Amino acid sequence: QSVLTQPPSVSAAPGQKVTISCSGSSSNIGKNYVSWYQQLPGRAPKPLIYDNNKRPSGIPDRFSGSKSGTSATLGITGLQTGDEADYYCGTWHSSLRAVVFGGGTKLTVL
Amino acid sequence: QVQLQQSGPGLVKPSQTLSLTCVISGDSVSSNSAAWNWIRQSPSRGLEWLGRTYYRSKWSNDYGVSVKSRITINPDTSKNQFSLQLNSVTPEDTAVYYCARSLENPGVLLDIWGQGTMVTVSS
């Protein structure tokens, strides 16, 4: 029962586009910036998006982020088999004074 | 290049204290722009932020609600590291534990992660 809500899984074919949603509340996403993380099996999470839509150095522009109200979305275009991973959204929760995460979305590239 | 190296036991008995250390290279635990976090991950609880320590003219901590009564995160400036202590552990505390640096750009970004330590709570 994570504070932020993500779909458990999404899938798409290589070369296609996929979006992953992250739903929160006025106390977290509604007031703060969202970040996204990619976790490959057996590895630590890796930052993909910060401040809703910025990419860290080295992250390709196939990855994009957006936020509207109390929800955020991660988009991935030109899907590759190497994109198969778990994806997590995260943000600051103002009233809890804590970082909160979504439950994660498993991306399958068919 | 900032790196975080974790160490600590992989097996802890129920009711005892879980202790982990995270050594920082390439940055300072006393940085005025970073915070130093502990996060854990288990199949049942997903990614769970445990807390952080940071220096902004004085040391401060924030802790996650679920562990607030049992957790301590301390900086060690002499060794440029920070530690996690979680008291009175139960099997529910079995998880992979990560240390991580966070920056505020202005949003919180956990940009550097340690390698992870699998901790099992069992007698």
Q: What percent of chain B has pLDDT over 90?
A: 95
Q: Note whether B62 contacts A: Cβ–Cβ < 8 A.
A: yes
Whether the per-residue pLDDT at A31 is higher than 90: the answer is yes
Instruction: Give me the total of CB pairs closer than 8 Å, taking one residue from chain A and one from chain B.
Output: 72
B43 touches chain A (CB under 8 A): no
In terms of Cα–Cα distance, which of A1, A32, A6 is closest to A89? Answer: A6
Beta strands in chain B (DSSP E): 3-7, 11-12, 18-25, 34-42, 46-55, 59-63, 71-76, 81-86, 95-104, 108-113, 117-121
pLDDT reported for residue A1? 81
| Cβ–Cβ below 8 Å for B116 and A44 | yes
User: For position A78, what pLDDT does the model report?
Assistant: 97
- Give tens-digit pLDDT for B60-88: 999 999 999 999 999 999 999 999 999 99
The answer to whether the CB of B120 falls within 8 A of the CB of B92 is no
Give tens-digit pLDDT for A2-15.
999 999 999 999 99
Nearest residue in A to B43, CA atom:
A103
Average pLDDT over residues A53-73: 97
Asked if A95 reaches chain B (Cβ–Cβ under 8 Å), the answer is no
Residue A85 near residue A38 (C-beta atoms within 8 A): yes
Pairwise CB contact (< 8 Å): A44 & B98: yes
Q: How confident is the model at residue B92 (pLDDT cuts 50, 70, 90)?
A: very high
Read off the pLDDT of residues A74-97 as tens digits, 9 standing for 90 and up.
999 999 999 999 999 999 999 999
| Mean pLDDT along residues A49-76 | 97
Identify the pLDDT of residue B104.
84
Look at residue A63 and tell me whether its pLDDT is greater than 80: yes
pLDDT at B107 over 90: no
pLDDT at A20: 98
Q: B27 in contact with A at a CB cutoff of 8 Å?
A: no
* DSSP structure string for A14-71: TT--EEEEEE--TTTTTTS-EEEEEE-TTS--EEEEBTTTB--TT--TTEEEEEETTE
Q: Is it the case that residue B105 has pLDDT exceeding 80?
A: no
At residue B106, the pLDDT reads 85
The whole-number pLDDT of residue A65 equals 98
pLDDT, mean over chain A: 96
Q: Which residues of B5-31 are buried (b: 16+ CB within 10 A; e: fewer)?
A: ebeeeeebeeeeebbbbbbbeebebee
Confidence of residue A37 (pLDDT cuts 50, 70, 90): very high
What band does B45 get if pLDDT is binned at 50, 70 and 90?
confident
